[in-house]
Amino acid sequence: MKPLAILGLVLIVLGIGGLIFRSVHWTETKNVADIGPIQINSQEEHSLWIPTVAGIAAVVAGVGLIFVSRRSA
């Protein structure tokens, strides 16, 4: 398989994943204070929203790369 076709396949998979999973959430734990044996921690929740346009653009670009790699063969 050509490198362009592999890149196109990766873009298609990531684009479909972005369309299925609309956002990614994670929790980050930070150490606020460390006073002897006592530790004070803070948890922060983060969200990353994936725009629908980005998922569609990735799928279209992936299909285009696969099409271009097959035509040049």
Helix (H) or strand (E) holding 42: strand 38-49
Per the listing, tokens 């369309």 go with 19
Give pTM, 2 decimals.
0.71
pLDDT (tens digit per residue) in 14-34: 999 999 999 999 999 999 998
pLDDT (tens digit per residue) in 38-60: 999 999 999 999 999 999 999 99
Tally of domains within the chain: 1
Which structural domain, as residue segments, surrounds residue 43?
3-71
Per the listing, tokens 């196109």 go with 8
- How many Cα atoms occupy the beta-carbon half-sphere of 32 within 13 Å? 6
CA 4 from chain centre, in angstroms, equals 20
